[in-house]
Amino acid sequence: MNVNQSAPPVPPFGQNQPIYPGYHQSSYGGQPGPAAPATPYGAYNGPVPGYQQAPPQGVPRAPPSSGVPPASAAQVPCGQTTYGQFGQGDIQNGPSSTAQMQRVPGSQQFGPPLAPVVSQPAVLQPYGPPPTSTQVTAQLAGMQISGAVAQASPPSGLGYGPPTSLASASGNFPNSGPYGSYPQSQAPPLSQAQGHPGVQPPLRSAPPLASSFTSPASGGPQMLSMTGLLPPGQGFGSLPVNQANHVSSPPAPALPPGTQMTGPPVPPPPPMHPPQQPGYQLQQNGSFGPARGPQPNYESPYPGAPTFGSQPGPPQPLPPKRLDPDTIPSPIQVIEDDRNNRGSEPFVTGVRGQVPPLVTTNFLVKDQGNASPRYIRCTSYNIPCTSDMAKQAQVPLAAVIKPLARLPPEEASPYVVDHGESGPLRCNRCKAYMCPLMTFIEGGRRFQCSFCSCINDVPPQYFQHLDHTGKRVDAYDRPELSLGSYEFLATVDYCKNNKFPSPPAFIFMIDVSYNAIRTGLVRLLCEELKSLLDYLPREGGAEESAIRVGFVTYNKVLHFYNVKSSLAQPQMMVVSDVADMFVPLLDGFLVNVSESRAVITSLLDQIPEMFADTRETETVFAPVIQAGMEALKAAECAGKLFLFHTSLPIAEAPGKLKNRDDRKLINTDKEKTLFQPQTGTYQTLAKECVAQGCCVDLFLFPSQYVDVATLSVVPQLTGGSVYKYACFQVENDQERFLSDLRRDVQKVVGFDAVMRVRTSTGIRAVDFFGAFYMSNTTDVELAGLDGDKTVTVEFKHDDRLNEENGALLQCALLYTSCAGQRRLRIHNLALNCCTQLADLYRNCETDTLINYMAKFAYRAVLSSPVKTVRDTLITQCAQILACYRKNCASPSSAGQLILPECMKLLPVYLNCVLKSDVLQPGAEVTTDDRAYVRQLVSSMDVAETNVFFYPRLLPLVRTKSPLDSTAEPPAVRASEERLSSGDIYLLENGLNLFVWVGASVQQGVVQSLFNVSSFSQITSGLSVLPVLDNPLSKKVRGLVDSLRAQRMRYMKLIVVKQEDKLETLFKHFLVEDKSLSGGASYVDFLCHMHKEIRQLLS
């Protein structure tokens, strides 16, 4: 049974109806896609000591003294000793064999195999005493995704399956004080625990390949679970963990340069790290505890390496090979599987509570009554019926809403419905708008609101008969009765002061201080505006835009320009009293572009010349915004200010700022002040701007600190954007700035907007994240809202929900279009409700969860120390996974880390958030950079946060396999291990684009791509690839262009050479590795999460 798309019920509105013209009606739920290939996850860990002294090497093991081993136990290859209960295991991404190995729970040593469990939550059984004489494998065959019980393979076409379990990554994680750290390649043996003598693993052959065991019972490959029952407190050997993301002890040294991270053991060079520091305890098992045991799968740096902290044991064996990172959940594999399974069929929104394909999958949407995931994505599509259950699970219930999202050309924009003077039909009590979720009764004369259950009369002009299923016969002729998203034309009652709005205006406000003139910015901008004004946004098929434009220049004073069409030359008016700002002219300031074309062109030619010899370095900032807002108020219209600003506003004026940049505050309780605005002036100003419908977009060109945290307050609260070009140089940054400016000026914007989210009885919206202002607890006010911005809404229970009715959301956005038309855009979404936690965990969306958690954390740094914020995220993640382990997973050893299938990427993605510049800055990250990223992420959509926190790494040129010249290359994991010095890679995160060139790339490739004859001649930091007429150059430049087209902002290209100083910057984005700022590697963080989960469960 497909766990995401429950068996399609009767179509949501009864039977098939005549198809609404303009959109295709398909079967609800879509067809299942092709079967997903088995994922190549291998074994999770190497051998570990048992609880008793192991028999000498080479001596055959006696059979177990109690019970008979199950018939399905794996056969061990000849000459290989076993160490755990059921032999070596594999990791798999969902069962690849229907006859999966049965697992014995800790409380029953050997006996009849457990019956298969199908998706009911199993109660965690207590673990019994350790076996007395059975010494069985501890090859930590962890990632047993099926929850350790035989389970049928899920149907093809499914993105989600049974749970993932990882073998112990933990050791025994005691609550110890300071954490020591060992070189990864030199681990001390396990110190004795509970009186057992220290044990060394005997010599063993290399582990067999994944799925290579044959069971006598089935004859096919078996996927085995890691068992190995432990005495209390005794952990399995574990993954190497240098230190937790938030631990303040010395970081563990990285592997010596040049050490290969995968493949068979090779003796590496001698270690290059200082001896263990005094005063720190040794680490056990690579976990967060006192002394560390033998590191599975890690090479010793040289034979006879000293060991510490253990009893003398048998002679040191040859170390097994290092843990293979391929054994932990891979974002690349999950993304690829989802594309293969769900990318071919359209996503039909008719079925309630369907989890959509991932944001990384290209898919078409067919609206059949619920809003497209392009407009709304939820953290879970099946929400708990009670608040107690929600508290227990700790999964945040949130929706990321993008009300004006742009759709691909194949999908129709929302239909506009005009109900004339009567306006849209609404519920009398809760004011919800008519939608497909409403129920018509009494022959169509009345309707019952699905949100508050109030019964309303249907107005005579809206009356229509019902068919035999109780559905209106005109349901498919009315978008508001058959679609999830649509628009209503608003009546005058929805307008400010009860009068229809005027078309909006754009005001360009240009800094003409010395810095702006010196860099060439002013000349470049004026030249671009001459042509850009022809591309202002327009409605539908309008010949020209209705938007009017105005121009202001400023330094310490403001200059307004009269560009009335009747003038031969523009006129300048100077306002030097910046403390009491006013607009010196009304007529001729805001004009129609086509009418005043000649005067505007003349002005833009003159501005760079007028200020060419300026020596004025000081600027004002708040009075500039004040002036723009006053101009819009005088013209009685909404609009947008485009501010181009270069320096900290230190001139005497309201909103004057001082330089308060202080890196000493990082990691102190006062660090939060770096993110807070210096003065309350800007909040007050922003509030006035919102009331006037004045949105501010800020383009910053700083050469030093400008206090982004304060300057971005007005853009943030008015729904605007901030763009930052540090140390702007025309030759390097021109393309990026002009591309961003064109996109920003041309994009469709809703002005003077108010958004409200209504919910059905039982839940309510309690918290909101994004770029907006709120004057009450329910209305999100936006002076401007574009198609890139999202509003994230968190919901909490205020009553019990029931499974039959589900939970309903309706997002209503009231806004003024670019043509000055007042409209209402409505998005509806119905979710399922559950009484079983397993159903909640089966229908979660990790990407949306990470989007919410990042925004939550980035807002929290305004009021809490950064370390507290990081700890809160880790605790919440551990609680989510511990609740799943306790209530939904099949009983299994405490040494296993079990992850829900839908959330198996939660640890890797959360670690990326924890290591991000806002929460864990490196030495090179400025205070302004952190404030910039913090406000940027606050309104990102799910696709943007996905690639921002886990960048895409694409191989462009591979020596082993030539790439197809047309298709986008398959991504690889963001880790240095994946780079080969003979290849070229491209990395992108939505803001940056790097081309990494390996030192031993073939000469012909270097010539084809860079037009130089050798690697040494490539210019490091190059920002433009030469245009060359050969297939490789065309392919790479085409790929760069297509990636830029997918992203909201223009990504500047930087060419990085291997072993070059710029490589440090590039490696910052290889997020699976340990970061220079102290962030944990993926493997280490997984171990730490396991420790946290075990502490919660114990």
Q: Tell me: the pLDDT tens digits for 462-512?
A: 999 999 999 999 999 999 999 999 999 999 999 988 899 999 999 999 999
pLDDT at residue 951 in the model: 97
Report the 10 Å Cβ neighbour count for 541.
5
User: In the predicted model, is pLDDT for residue 192 greater than 90?
Assistant: no
Per the prediction, the chain carries an average pLDDT of 77
Average pLDDT over residues 743-765: 96
**Bridge pairing between strands 446-448 and 382-384:** unpaired
User: In the predicted model, is pLDDT for residue 835 greater than 50?
Assistant: yes
Q: Could you write out the DSSP letters of every residue in 274-318?
A: PPPPTT-PPPSTTSSSSS----TT---SSTT----SS---SPPPP
237 vs 1046, residue with greater confidence: 1046
Average pLDDT over residues 714-743: 96
| Cβ proximity of 833 and 761 under 8 Å | no
Closest CA to 768 of 753, 787, 790: 790
Say if residue 437 is exposed, middle or buried (CB neighbours under 10 Å; 0-12, 13-18, 19+).
Answer: buried
- 3-class secondary structure per residue, 677-717: CCCCHHHHHHHHHHHHCEEEEEEECCCCCCCHHHHCHHHHH
| Cβ proximity of 134 and 82 under 8 Å | no
Note the pLDDT tens digit of each residue in 900-940. Answer: 999 999 999 999 999 999 999 888 899 999 999 999 999 99
* Residues across the chain: 1098
Note the pLDDT tens digit of each residue in 152-186. Answer: 334 333 344 445 555 443 333 333 333 333 333 33
pLDDT at residue 962 in the model: 58
Cα distance between residue 1088 and residue 288, in whole Å? 7
Angle value at C-alpha 564, between 562 and 570, nearest 5 degrees: 45
Average pLDDT over residues 932-957: 96
User: In the predicted model, is pLDDT for residue 111 greater than 50?
Assistant: no
Closest CA to 880 of 1080, 1089, 1071: 1089
- Tell me phi and psi for residue 258, to 5 degrees: 90, -15
Cα distance between residue 545 and residue 533, in whole Å? 10
| Cβ proximity of 417 and 486 under 8 Å | yes
User: What is the distance of C-alpha 703 from the center of its chain?
Assistant: 30
pLDDT at residue 106 in the model: 35
Torsion of CA 879, 884, 889, 891, to 10 degrees: 30
pLDDT at residue 99 in the model: 36
Q: Which tokens is 777 given?
A: 């607890």
pLDDT at residue 924 in the model: 85
Cβ-proximal residues to 280 (8 Å cutoff; 6+ apart), any chain: 178, 179, 180, 181, 249, 250
Residue 437, SS3? coil
Residue 379, SS3? coil
Helix (H) or strand (E) holding 876: helix 866-887
Report the 10 Å Cβ neighbour count for 626.
25
262 vs 835, residue with greater confidence: 835
Enumerate the β-bridge partners of residue 1053: 993
User: In the predicted model, is pLDDT for residue 236 greater than 70?
Assistant: no
According to the per-residue pLDDT averaged within each range, which of 65-79, 106-120, 167-181, 403-417 is highest? 403-417
- Any idea which residue has 């009315």 for tokens? 478
Cα distance between residue 181 and residue 189, in whole Å? 14
- Tell me phi and psi for residue 52, to 5 degrees: -120, 170
pLDDT at residue 327 in the model: 84
- Any idea which residue has 């065959």 for tokens? 141
Signed CA dihedral, 727, 730, 733, 737: sign only: positive
pLDDT at residue 318 in the model: 54
User: What letters, b where the CB count within 10 A reaches 16 and e where it falls short, cover 131-167?
Assistant: beebbbbbbbbbbbbbbbbbbebbeebbbbbbbbbbb
13 vs 728, residue with greater confidence: 728
Enumerate the β-bridge partners of residue 575: 558
Q: Which tokens is 509 given?
A: 């406000």
Cβ-proximal residues to 373 (8 Å cutoff; 6+ apart), any chain: 347, 356, 357, 365
Cα distance between residue 235 and residue 226, in whole Å? 13
Residue type, 1043: L
User: In the predicted model, is pLDDT for residue 263 greater than 60?
Assistant: no
Q: 549 to each of 122, 509, 632, 641, how far by Cα in Å?
A: 65, 11, 11, 10
User: In the predicted model, is pLDDT for residue 864 greater than 90?
Assistant: yes
pLDDT at residue 65 in the model: 40
Q: 304: pLDDT confidence band, cut at 50, 70 and 90? A: very low
User: In the predicted model, is pLDDT for residue 280 greater than 80?
Assistant: no
User: In the predicted model, is pLDDT for residue 856 greater than 90?
Assistant: yes
Cα distance between residue 59 and residue 50, in whole Å? 16
pTM (global) more than 0.85: no
Average pLDDT over residues 767-782: 96
User: What is the distance of C-alpha 819 from the center of its chain?
Assistant: 34
| Cβ proximity of 704 and 728 under 8 Å | no
| Cβ proximity of 76 and 85 under 8 Å | no
| Cβ proximity of 21 and 56 under 8 Å | no
pLDDT at residue 116 in the model: 30
Note the pLDDT tens digit of each residue in 344-374. Answer: 999 999 999 999 999 999 999 999 999 999 9
User: In the predicted model, is pLDDT for residue 104 greater than 50?
Assistant: no
Pick from 101-115, 412-426, 446-460: least confident: 101-115
User: In the predicted model, is pLDDT for residue 46 greater than 60?
Assistant: no
Enumerate the β-bridge partners of residue 55: none
